Amino acid sequence: MVATLYSSVGFGGGSSYLALLTLFVVSFFAIRSIALVCNLVVVSGSTYLYFKHGHARLKDFLPFVITSIPMAFLGASFRLKEEVFFIILGSALIISSIFLIWQTSGIKLTDPSKVYPKYLSYVIGATIGFLSGLVGIGGGIFLAPILNHINWDKSVKIAALASFFILVNSISGLGGLFLAGTLELPWIETLVLGITVLLGGQLGIRLSLKKLSAKGIKRITAILVFVVGLRVLFVNGLGLF
């Protein structure tokens, strides 16, 4: 379900995979690893289709990914303590849910005619890349709302960039986990979830969801991510309950 909903709007679903995996998987190394693999499986198909239909051009995306790839690798190579990981993860999930709600609100706090400096693309890519590698997401859920906020381009091109951004950061993040010796992929869970998100992702890409708009999908997902993010932060991270 997550793969279908997320792929229909150009995301991989990493934040929701993390949220769900924390409820069922004990090892946080496995949580990070499996979420990145699921991300990679989902966005591979959507990225291909975006390029095939002319919505994506590599030269437009390079400023973001040139800095995000090494930073995602660096973030993933950090060997975090379990409680620190869950605090960062829970906070990231809560922030991502707020970003999703913000993106669907239509509120613009900036002047649409304002031109931003070119170096901002590199800064955004590096910052989100590091965070995505650290907690095991592709970063598209952060990138898309920011690009919409600064009026970077049309919504379809932003979705294409988010998909490609998730793809390259997921690959880089897996490389960082491998280098740090924290890549943990239980083969049964990884295989079953990989096949599941592949089917869901392909369904979401190819079918138009008539019952829910893209905004509706994001709002529902935001509620899920917010609730589980609170649980991860306060129960797994801070141990308050």
In the chain the first and final C-alpha atoms are separated, in Å, by 29
The pLDDT, as a whole number, for residue 145 is: 80
pLDDT value of residue 208: 46
* pLDDT tens digit at each of 241 positions of the chain: 888 888 877 788 887 788 788 888 878 789 889 999 999 999 988 888 888 888 778 888 999 999 999 999 999 888 878 888 888 888 888 887 887 787 777 666 555 566 778 889 999 999 999 988 888 888 888 888 888 778 787 877 888 888 899 999 999 999 999 998 889 999 999 999 999 999 998 888 776 445 556 677 677 777 877 887 888 888 877 877 7
Answer for the pair 53, 31: CB distance below 8 angstroms, yes or no.
Answer: no
DSSP notation for the chain = -HHHHHHTTT---HHHHHHHHHHH---HHHHHHHHHHHHHHHHHHHHHHHHHTT---HHHHHHHHHHHHHHHHHHHH----HHHHHHHHHHHHHHHHHHHHHHHH----S-TTPPPPTHHHHHHHHHHHHHHHHHT--SHHHHHHHHHHTT-S-HHHHHHHHHHHHHHHHHHHHHHHHHHT-----HHHHHHHHHHHHHHHHHHHHS--SSS-HHHHHHHHHHHHHHHHHHIIIIIIS---
CA dihedral 81, 82, 84, 90 (to 10 degrees): 160
CA nearest 141: which of 106, 102, 199, 107? 102
Break the chain into its structural domains and give their ranges.
2-237
> What pLDDT does residue 110 have?
58
Which pLDDT value is given to residue 105?
72
Q: Please list, residue by residue across 42-73, b when 16 or more beta carbons sit within 10 angstroms of its beta carbon and e when fewer do.
A: bbbbbbebbeeeebbeeeebebbbebbbbbbb
Q: How far apart are CA 176 and CA 76, in angstroms?
A: 5
